Amino acid sequence: MSNIQVNALGASSSSSETTNSPRGLIIALGIGQVCAWGSLYYSFTLIAEAMMAELGWSKTDVYGAATIGLVLAGFLAYPVGIAVDKGYGRVLMGGASLMAGVLLALWSQVNSLMTFYLIIAGIGGLQAAALYEPAFAVMARRVGAGGARAGITAITLWGGFASTVFIPLVQFLLDHWGWREALLVLALINGLVCSVAHFGFIRPEKDAVHFNQHHHENPLATDKQEVKAAFRKPVFWLLMLALTAYAGAFTAFTFHMYPLLLEGGLSTSNVVWAIATIGPAQVAGRILISIYGSGTSMRRIGTFVVAVFPLVFIVLALQPTSMWISTAACVLYGASNGIFTIVRGLLVPEMLSRRAYGAINGLLTFPSTLARAFAPVAAAWLWSSTMSYDVVLWAIAACAAVLALSFWLAAWASRFKPMR
């Protein structure tokens, strides 16, 4: 298959339909990522605060439900990956969008804590079938894992606008109507926009999967062999460690960055300004890579990017009182995080195997999802033990150092074995 050049919003230079141009699929998956991240992930904190004020529930009660949902998503990552590898991406992602709409509508009517836990557990589980990983796997099936770089980059560019679009939207709905009405709007977005995008544009019959085998061989058996082979590679375990450390550092910082920066001595307005730069910096980093990094391997890009994370958190751990230093650290963090999202989407075909993308990626991200679930709680426990974010920041910096070291080792080891 010829290389397909895709621009930031999904434009393709493919000249004929025989190349299975993924432009429509990229736009559909991109819109789906904006809506899924915005409604299933970024909106939770805003709605949770409004719920607690009305129902009198504690933070522990509400955020405990989110933890359970993320744990469930971790356990579903592998079977979801297998299902996409088998060609069920359309049913899986489209069905997840419909179910998300139903559960969000049910959430809008909740008054019981037990019912709330069941609903949020379900929404958390649906994230395994709605966020980046299944979308990346669907793209890998359409154009082949080795040619999915442009598509995955474009999808992450779309996804980078999720918080920018949905946090103001949800806040507007909360200010003018209420959290129950806001959830009904989010339910409609999932049930209509996301489901149409996924059912309408994920077309398994157009997938360009090359099994490199005789017609009488079982492709699923070969996928299982690739998964087993991945377990025997040190690169697999090093990447798993790197991604888990990344997830822990990213989530702990995301959930605590506001009070963390306030404790460092910045004013509220300065903290808001510094945090506000992270989203645009993520998108800018992805655009720069799509323009200037098209000829560079993800192995090399990742090697440089992971070095930035420890430096950023060490600077923040030193508690700079200058708004400009803190803002610069947030900009570097945002740009690096945006680029690393692309890198982690392409680690499997470049450093492990071009077969069984969904299954191998699901296994790699399983402990990462668990780290996302428990990192905010662990950071809160560290803070409560010392009544200071100093130890939290140094712990995050340590996780970032583990990320960098394990990724460097994986990059060094993977260079000896070209992917099939």
- Supply the pLDDT for residue 244: 94
Say if residue 10's pLDDT is above 70. no
Measure the CA–CA gap between 288 and 293, rounded to whole angstroms: 7
Residue 11 has pLDDT above 50, yes or no: no
The full DSSP string for 78-119 is: HHHHHHHHTT-HHHHHHHHHHHHHHHHHHHTT---HHHHHHH
Rg (CA), the chain: 21
Q: Any idea of the CA torsion for 164, 170, 174, 175, to the nearest 10 degrees? A: 30
What is the predicted pLDDT for the residue at 223?
67
If phi over 0 gives left and psi between -120 and 50 gives alpha, with beta otherwise, what is residue 203? beta
Q: According to the model, what pLDDT value does residue 377 have? A: 80
Enter the tokens of residue 61.
């009660």
pLDDT tens digits, one per residue of 200-235: 899 888 876 654 444 444 555 566 777 788 788 889
Please state, in angstroms and rounded to a whole number, the distance separating the CA atoms of residues 386 and 265.
18
Q: What is the mean pLDDT of the chain?
A: 83
In this prediction, residue 216 carries a pLDDT of 46
> How big is the chain, counted in residues?
420
Helix axis angle, 149-159 to 278-292, nearest 10°: 160
Token duo for residue 26: 């990229």
Range with lowest mean pLDDT among 4-8, 145-149, 155-159: 4-8
Helix-then-strand count for the chain, H and E: 20, 0
pLDDT of residue 6: 43
Q: What pLDDT score was predicted for residue 140?
A: 83
pLDDT, tens only, 282-338: 888 888 887 877 778 888 899 999 999 999 999 988 877 788 888 899 999 999 988
Which domains can be identified in the chain, with CATH numbers? 20-206 (1.20.1250.20), 220-414 (1.20.1250.20)
pLDDT at residue number 219: 54
